[in-house]
Structure 1
């Protein structure tokens, strides 16, 4: 059975609000919660970007049942992989084994801030593969010295390591990434409901099999609200960047770039790609594409900070009933 999650979106909410939403999502019955890890919002109108790992620690302490996950962290530029390993191990301990480390090759929007430049796509994948090797070794309790193509580690050791270990999910968008990362990861992360992604993953030698042990974890934005017109306006204001595609989203350096790239996106364009309004059947139907594609987990992104409490109070439970009936 597919599990359904709630997205703690750091780009549109402050840290205390996110902790409260995490508690509300757990009460509403979501199976898991994912958190974005950004230095900037996609657009200035979104207005937030707290440090995800501080919020994750608070969420781990404030919740009891839901699984937690980063969706996703880039362990190559803004963070050194040895530091990511330490953060992940600590979060897993705080969460009593409920945490999964979601990793990806990153976006220039977040990684450029440390002044190390922005590598090309092939180099970013090579960096991610080396970073996973380092993280795995440290989570395994090794004292690690590493001289690689991209990273140096000088006699590092984690002193607080979760006994139950820690699963790693990796974000991929196509066959080349799947072939490279499926043997290195425990779970697939993707943002498109494409059945070929699951099939290609399962066809890779030594890849953990979906759904027999491995998970395929997707995410979809929704704009629920009592007024369809207002829900569309809100989605257009905050999520018009969404249709740009990964090649655009990965390489633009600032929110102003996303504003410029999406300046000609119309409200009706957004309404075609994001379900908007009070119709829960319509929202459930949009999620069904992930279920049909073989995804085991789907996280919902409710658009707009000001809508979260009403969504969790009024819509989440009946929506989850419809989703589980799929």
Structure 2
């Protein structure tokens, strides 16, 4: 059976309400949850960005299912600090935590004042960070010099077993690269042909572990309302080209401009019919994913989760 999870979006919902939402997500039948780890939202209208690691402790203590986070060690977080945070959550909640590690986005990382490196250097930095984190989670003392400098670091409070460290990848090239070190693959919904290439690249490079997809949806009572939610909350997805080098939410808004309905439909699954949405989600999962995390892109998570309980989850269970 395919694992169906809930995605908690820190950029759109205050952390207190998001905690209530993840508790509700377990109550209505989701198998687990994941969250983002941003310092800033994608756009001004989103207007939030709680600290993921504080929230994760509260969320794990308030639920009994698994939770994961997509995070970027290397600039805003030194990998020693990332390793300590990962170890603490796994020690407190054994077998319930995972992290997907990515090379980061300028909107979150530029605040350190350090140079924002090109993609090849970010990948090198991430790989070095992953190696440091794994060594620390194994209880070893670590010193390194390179894209990441570490001096005689050690994490003292360790879990019995380290949690899975997945690779976050959007392109086939990054997926193939991540296959060399990751315990699984985490990606986001794209056109099926692009997703198929991401999965194939990961497999061809020897990638193992779960294949995880995050799917953005706008499910409202009418199609017009669903489009409007996407326009207000998710129009940055209409930006052509890379999102990773943009520094400010205002810049995302300016670059997105006023996208057409057709452009918005490419950035999220927009629907008013839950059965039809379930079929579209099932089509993406069928490409080869083990877990799907559903992200309702509106800010009213209470209404979204009520609709999911009533209509979407039953339809999804039937479609998968």
Shared fold per TM-score greater than 0.5: yes
What residue is the counterpart of 1:263 in the other structure?
257
How much has 1:202 moved relative to structure 2? 1.9
Give ranges in structure 2 of 5+ residues lacking alignment. none
How much has 1:167 moved relative to structure 2? 0.4
What residue is the counterpart of 2:103 in the other structure?
105
What residue is the counterpart of 1:162 in the other structure?
159
What residue is the counterpart of 2:32 in the other structure?
32
CA distance in 1 between partners of 2:175 and 2:184 (Å): 11
What residue is the counterpart of 2:270 in the other structure?
276
TM-score by length of 1: 0.92
What residue is the counterpart of 1:289 in the other structure?
283
What residue is the counterpart of 2:57 in the other structure?
57
The Cα offsets for residues 213-250 of structure 1, whole Å up to 9 and x where unpaired, read as x11111111111223322211111110111335x4210
CA distance in 2 between partners of 1:296 and 1:190 (Å): 12
How much has 1:162 moved relative to structure 2? 1.0
> RMSD of the TM alignment (CA)?
1.6
Inter-CA distance 318–264: structure 2 relative to 1 (3 Å threshold): closer
SS of the residue aligned with 2:314? helix
Out of 301, 308, 318, the residue aligned to residue 311 of structure 2 is: 318
What residue is the counterpart of 1:198 in the other structure?
199
SS of the residue aligned with 1:5? strand
How much has 1:199 moved relative to structure 2? 2.2
Out of 173, 176, 180, the residue aligned to residue 179 of structure 1 is: 176
How much has 1:94 moved relative to structure 2? 2.8
SS of the residue aligned with 1:122? helix
Moved more, 173-182 or 253-262: 173-182
How much has 1:7 moved relative to structure 2? 0.8
Moved more, 272-281 or 234-243: 272-281
Moved more, 108-117 or 93-102: 93-102
How much has 1:315 moved relative to structure 2? 2.4
TM-score by length of 2: 0.93
Contact 2:275 2:311 in 1 (8 A): no
How much has 1:124 moved relative to structure 2? 0.5
Contact 1:275 1:282 in 2 (8 A): no
How much has 1:273 moved relative to structure 2? 4.4
Contact 2:165 2:183 in 1 (8 A): yes
The Cα offsets for residues 284-323 of structure 1, whole Å up to 9 and x where unpaired, read as 12212321210111111101222x1122123235312222
Q: What count of residue pairs does the alignment treat as equivalent?
A: 315
Runs of 4+ in 1 over 6 A off after TM superposition: none
CA distance in 2 between partners of 1:243 and 1:295 (Å): 25
